[in-house]
């Protein structure tokens, strides 16, 4: 059940200054704001209200923005009322689920934040092997609800990430090679579009929107619920890490490039270079086998025989423990910066660029997400997510707590990215800072259809705080 938050219950003393869709100054009439607050089953928060500062905070500690209004929504009707209010006034809109957007697109200055974080229900139907999930639920809520039934669907690697942004962008995780991306397991969604209508979206209802939201990000509306396909899965999985001295990094990555191409769908292996707490550069290969443990031992034997590792932790392992292992390092409030992109293949030249650029001081880690398998068997135009035939998603990340380090950290990450970018093609919609040109190129031949759907359902570009697809009227 979703808890009901008390209604607004406040009397406004004056008008509210706000920001419009293109940055223009707006004045919100107090009667209209009062009416919006009274209409909500949840709560409407202003800057002077208790709870406002907590509600406006997002995961990335680098982001500090102040919306004019926060609609803390308790249900889909609240979302409809908030969207209608914003649309009628041309008010800038941000949508917060888990608040994990690296560039901070879950919040805005001067606009309306639509906060879904109380809409966290997860209802598992064991017989149908499906789960209906609230738009503000976190990936950890989904795993926690499904794993006791020996069921799972693809979720990401930080459990306090929201299901909404994760899914709408594509949704990569440790089981995507076996079960497909999150969008490949999305059976339906409920979506509030820019006209305030609540639309059920599936292969049979609003199929154009169903195609677009599977990889098109938050361009088309606010998703208030998702229905996922679940798969039989043993919560005691098989996997873990092998850790090598960084001096072996090129050998490890060149081995990974060849070895990963021969693996069955059940096997997921993902290198990550990092610095230990005592300042030593290391490279690990993280593994998961979504299948029989005896098969896993045989599949991972060549990896375990390779090189001179300093640690080998591969064996039976709780899947949920693996899914939460980064929750602390990636905790709320830490300053984060990331540059990433898809690697169509991992070549010796790209390996050289990756290894030689990792300074281990200002760049905290570099990581791979292993793709292929079932993900690659979906046609590039079957969903909006076009990057079906790539080897991996590659990220260069820094996280720190001292704000005085920010400029130096960001510059180092951008320098590393510049060295690797020539080997990349496209990027994961959820992660990157983006420009209009990059967004257009990122969707390839799917972009024209996305523009048509955007124009039909959001002609004024109300939902623009994303890797934005501009409607034809504004192009």
pLDDT above 80: residue 5: no
- Give backbone dihedrals phi and psi of 132, rounded to 5 degrees, phi first: -105, 125
Dist. CA 192–CA 224, nearest whole Å: 7
140 inside domain: yes
Mean pLDDT across 436-461: 88
pLDDT at 15: 85
What is the average pLDDT value for the chain, to the nearest integer? Answer: 94
| Pair (386, 271) in one structural domain | yes
Which residue's entry shows tokens 């200054």?
A: 17
| Pair (249, 308) in one structural domain | yes
Percent of the chain with pLDDT over 70: 95
| Pair (126, 223) in one structural domain | yes
Mention every residue, 6+ apart, whose C-beta is less than 8 A from residue 154: 171, 172, 173, 174, 175, 176, 179, 180, 181, 182, 184, 185
Please check whether residue 234 is in contact with residue 155, taking contact to mean a CB–CB distance below 8 angstroms.
Answer: no
Strands 392-400 and 365-370: antiparallel
pLDDT above 90: residue 193: yes
| Residue 365 vs residues 305, 320, 360, 396, 435: alpha-carbon distances, Å | 25, 22, 7, 6, 25
Residue 190: which H helix or E strand, with range? strand 186-192
The domain that holds 353 is classified in CATH as: 3.40.462.20
Mention every residue, 6+ apart, whose C-beta is less than 8 A from residue 278: none
Which residue's entry shows tokens 């406004």?
A: 12
Mean pLDDT across 388-417: 95
Question: Residues 225-268: pLDDT tens digits?
Answer: 999 999 999 999 999 999 999 999 999 999 999 999 999 999 99
22 inside domain: yes
| Pair (140, 90) in one structural domain | no
Which residue's entry shows tokens 């034997």?
A: 301
pLDDT at 45: 97
Please check whether residue 354 is in contact with residue 253, taking contact to mean a CB–CB distance below 8 angstroms.
Answer: yes
Please check whether residue 391 is in contact with residue 177, taking contact to mean a CB–CB distance below 8 angstroms.
Answer: no
354 inside domain: yes
Nearest to 177 by CA among 369, 368, 342: 369
pLDDT at 274: 95
Question: Residues 124-162: pLDDT tens digits?
Answer: 999 999 999 999 999 999 999 999 999 999 999 999 999
| Pair (94, 228) in one structural domain | no
Largest CA distance in the chain: 71
| Pair (362, 300) in one structural domain | yes
Q: Hey, which residues does 275 pair with through a beta bridge?
A: 281
Kindly write down the DSSP assignment for every residue of 260-295, as one continuous string: HTT--TTEEEEEEEEE-TTS-EEEEEEEEESS-HHH
Range of the domain at 22: 16-115
Nearest to 217 by CA among 460, 448, 433, 468: 468
Residue scoring higher pLDDT (282 or 436): 282
pLDDT above 60: residue 7: no
Total tally of structural domains belonging to the chain: 3
Domain stops at, among 61, 94, 115: 115
Confidence of residue 10 (pLDDT cuts 50, 70, 90): low
Residue scoring higher pLDDT (147 or 475): 147
Kindly write down the DSSP assignment for every residue of 316-361, as one continuous string: EEEHHHHHTTTTTTT-TT-EEEEEEEEESS--HHHHHHHHHH--SS
The domain that holds 48 is classified in CATH as: 3.30.43.10
| Pair (292, 166) in one structural domain | no
Question: Residues 350-363: pLDDT tens digits?
Answer: 999 999 999 888 99
pLDDT at 69: 98
2 inside domain: no
Confidence of residue 11 (pLDDT cuts 50, 70, 90): low
Mean pLDDT across 77-94: 98
Domain stops at, among 398, 423, 448: 423
Domain stops at, among 233, 266, 296: 233
157 inside domain: yes
| Pair (41, 172) in one structural domain | no
Q: Which of 132-136, 292-296, 334-338 has the lowest mean pLDDT?
A: 334-338
pLDDT above 50: residue 176: yes
| Pair (252, 341) in one structural domain | yes
131 inside domain: yes
The domain that holds 159 is classified in CATH as: 3.30.465.10
| Pair (90, 148) in one structural domain | no
Mean pLDDT across 376-396: 96
pLDDT above 90: residue 288: yes
pLDDT at 436: 56
| Pair (331, 359) in one structural domain | yes
Burial zone of 167 (CB within 10 Å; 0-12 exposed, 13-18 middle, 19+ buried): buried
Which residue's entry shows tokens 């200002």?
A: 362
pLDDT above 80: residue 341: yes
| Pair (309, 406) in one structural domain | yes
Question: Residues 42-67: pLDDT tens digits?
Answer: 999 999 999 999 999 999 999 999 99
Cut 0.85: pTM above it: yes
Please check whether residue 194 is in contact with residue 460, taking contact to mean a CB–CB distance below 8 angstroms.
Answer: yes
pLDDT above 80: residue 215: yes
């Amino acid at each position: 059940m979703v808890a009901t938050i008390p209604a607004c219950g406040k009397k406004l003393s004056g008008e509210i200054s706000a920001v419009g869709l293109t940055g223009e100054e707006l004045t919100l009439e107090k009667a209209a704001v009062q009416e919006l607050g009274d209409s909500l089953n949840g709560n409407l928060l202003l800057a002077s209200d208790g709870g406002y500062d907590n509600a406006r905070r997002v995961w990335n500690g680098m982001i500090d923005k102040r919306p004019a209004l926060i609609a803390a929504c308790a249900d889909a009707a609240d979302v409809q009322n908030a969207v209608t209010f914003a649309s009628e006034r041309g008010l800038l809109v941000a949508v917060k689920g888990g608040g994990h957007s690296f560039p901070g697109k879950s919040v805005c200055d001067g606009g309306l934040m639509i906060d879904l974080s109380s809409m966290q229900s997860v209802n598992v139907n064991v017989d149908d092997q499906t789960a209906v999930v609230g738009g503000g639920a976190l990936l950890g809520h989904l795993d926690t609800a499904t794993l006791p039934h020996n069921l799972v669907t693809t979720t990401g690697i930080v459990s306090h990430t929201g299901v909404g942004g994760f899914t709408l962008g594509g949704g990569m995780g440790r089981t995507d090679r076996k079960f497909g991306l999150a969008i490949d397991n999305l059976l339906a969604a409920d979506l509030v579009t820019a006209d305030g209508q609540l639309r059920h979206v599936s292969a049979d209802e609003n199929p154009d929107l169903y195609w677009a939201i599977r990889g098109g990000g938050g361009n088309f509306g606010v998703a208030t619920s998702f229905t996922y396909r679940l798969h039989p899965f043993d919560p005691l999985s098989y996997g873990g890490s092998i850790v090598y001295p960084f001096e072996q990094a090129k050998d490890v990555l060149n081995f990974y490039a060849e070895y990963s191409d021969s693996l069955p769908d059940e096997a997921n292996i993902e290198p990550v270079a990092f610095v230990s707490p005592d300042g030593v550069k290391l490279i690990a290969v993280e593994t998961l086998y979504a299948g029989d443990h005896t098969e896993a031992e045989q599949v991972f034997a060549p990896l375990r025989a390779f090189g001179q590792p300093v640690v080998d932790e591969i064996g039976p392992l709780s899947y949920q423990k693996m899914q939460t292992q980064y929750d602390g390092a990636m905790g709320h409030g830490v300053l984060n910066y990331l540059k990433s992109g898809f690697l169509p293949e991992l070549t010796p030249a790209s390996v050289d660029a990756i290894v030689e650029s990792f300074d281990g001081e200002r760049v905290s880690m570099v990581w791979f997400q292993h793709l292929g398998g079932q993900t690659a068997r979906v046609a590039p135009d079957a969903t909006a997510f076009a990057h079906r035939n790539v080897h991996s998603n590659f990220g260069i990340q820094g996280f720190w707590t001292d704000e005085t380090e920010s400029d130096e950290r960001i510059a180092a990450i951008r320098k590393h990215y510049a060295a690797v970018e020539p080997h990349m093609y496209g990027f994961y919609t959820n992660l990157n800072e983006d420009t209009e040109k990059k967004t257009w190129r990122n969707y390839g031949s799917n972009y024209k259809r996305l523009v048509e759907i955007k124009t039909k359902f959001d002609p004024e570009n109300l939902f623009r705080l994303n890797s934005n697809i501009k409607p034809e009227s504004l192009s």
